[in-house]
Amino acid sequence: MNRRYDWPDVDQAALRAARTARLKEFCDEAGLDHILLQEPDNIRYATGYRSHLTADSAWHAALVSADGEAEVFVEYVDETIENPIADLPNVRALHPHPGWSPASANPRTWVRLVAGRIAAAGARRIGVDAIDVALVEALRRACPSVEFVPSSTAFYRVRRVKDPLEIVLVEAASRVNSLAMDAAMSIVAPGVTDDEILGEAARAQLKAGVEFVTHSVCNVRGGSGAWFARNASLREGDAYFFDIGCYGVGGYGSDAARTAFVGEPRREVFQAYQHLLAAYEIARDLARPGVRMSAIHRAVNDYLSRQGLGRTPYAIGHGIGLRLCELPVAANASLMDVDDTLETGMCIALEPETSVEAGGAIVVVKVEDNFVVEETGLRALTTPYPAEAALV
């Protein structure tokens, strides 16, 4: 990819209105007049404000009314700025607060500043996301007439089903991630390192104009759980996989993975890969509205076990949106509070993995793509990689 991707021109006002309507419904049902948010995906959803500046997420905060009016606390202003963003009229002010460190590093200052705006807003019952419990307790002492209600789980559930405009943005990020995977595959040859593969993928993502590269992992001659690049050079006959992600323009994510082989792989490894693709098709065919997520997880692992192959040792699927990995999750039912059923409008990633012993070593293969759930089943958002192209 040699130029910026042609990102879709989404009506941001309409998207903001759709998310605000869900926010209001959420607040009304929970009896909240405000929510206090710190996680960047929650802030983006509730306000439209982009606060994901670095991989550290605990810098900003937003006090948002049930109607979507917001005050955002940021580290890069030293005085309050009223009506700071013309395209976000709902963001009424940016306020200074402790900078370049987690909020819990300066708790007294953070609480004093936030409590002052809570009092000015006349808030009485505030939902809070994953804010340090010590900060919430300090806010309770500073604002004794205000009730603070843990709301992270409920707010995650609100976000499971996507608005059509959200789906457009997830699909755009998924297309860019597909192009980045193609770019990474194009340089593969004996002697190329895992670092170089991931570097080529990140280069393509950034040149396309993504907001954020979320992760870059690569497994070359490593067992299950060997995620991280270690300057391993590819050899003739190697199997390897890489898993990459990004947040596209608008903040919505994509998480995808590819397996490939350098030249001709060992027969048992390529057979394991073919069985992985068969398990993957089982998951894709099964996933449709009304199906429980645990059923998809179980069907994949039951098939792999029947072939004498390693089971996927983690959830084989998850939601994608403003958070790269979010609800719903396709895992063993015993590892979830709620075994969600798929609904039209959910965006999910499916990522089965398996392993096989070959030549005295455990070889891991994996595939991952992104989908939207439609009435008749799944529609791919990433560009699925054909099995025959896995030989490079």
Structure tokens at 219: 């497994």
Find the Cα–Cα–Cα–Cα dihedral 290, 293, 296, 300, rounded to 10°: 180
**Distance of CA 137 to CAs 59, 115, 132, Å?**
18, 12, 9
The pLDDT confidence band at residue 57, using thresholds 50, 70 and 90, is confident
Which pLDDT tens digit goes with each residue over 239-298?
Answer: 999 999 999 999 999 999 999 999 999 999 999 999 999 999 999 999 999 999 999 999
Residue 392: pLDDT above 60? Answer: no
- 2 has a pLDDT exceeding 80: no
Amino acid identity for residue 86 in this structure: A
Arithmetic mean of pLDDT, 189-211:
97
The more confidently predicted of residues 385 and 194 is 194
Half-sphere exposure of 136 (CA within 13 A, CB side): 18
DSSP letters of 18-37?
A: HHHHHHHHHHHHHT-SEEEE
Provide the β-strand partners of residue 154.
none
Q: How far is CA 320 from CA 107, 128, 341, 381, in A?
A: 32, 22, 15, 11
Cβ atoms 291, 208 nearer than 8 A? no
Give the model's pLDDT for residue 1: 56
Asked if residues 167 and 347 have their Cβ atoms less than 8 Å apart, the reply is yes
Mean pLDDT along residues 136-148: 98
pLDDT at 54: 87
Structural contact between residues 176 and 253, judged by C-beta atoms closer than 8 angstroms: no
In the chain, what are the domains? 12-158 (3.40.350.10), 164-390 (3.90.230.10)
Give 364-379 pLDDT, tens digit per residue: 999 999 999 999 999 9
- Shortest CA distance to 240 belongs to which of 260, 267, 216, 225? 260
Question: How far apart, in whole angstroms, are the C-alpha atoms of residue 50 and residue 376?
Answer: 34
**Is omega for the bond preceding 328 within 30 degrees of 0, making it cis?**
yes
Contact 255, 302 (CB under 8 A): no
b/e sequence 208-240, b meaning 16+ C-beta within 10 Å: bebbbbbebbbbbbbebeeeebeebebeeebbb
pLDDT digits (tens, 9 = 90+) for 167-177: 999 999 999 99
Can you say whether the dihedral through the CA atoms of 119, 151, 133, 140 is positive or negative? positive
- Three-state secondary-structure class, residue 66: coil
pTM: 0.96
- The pLDDT-based confidence of 224 (bands split at 50, 70, 90) is confident
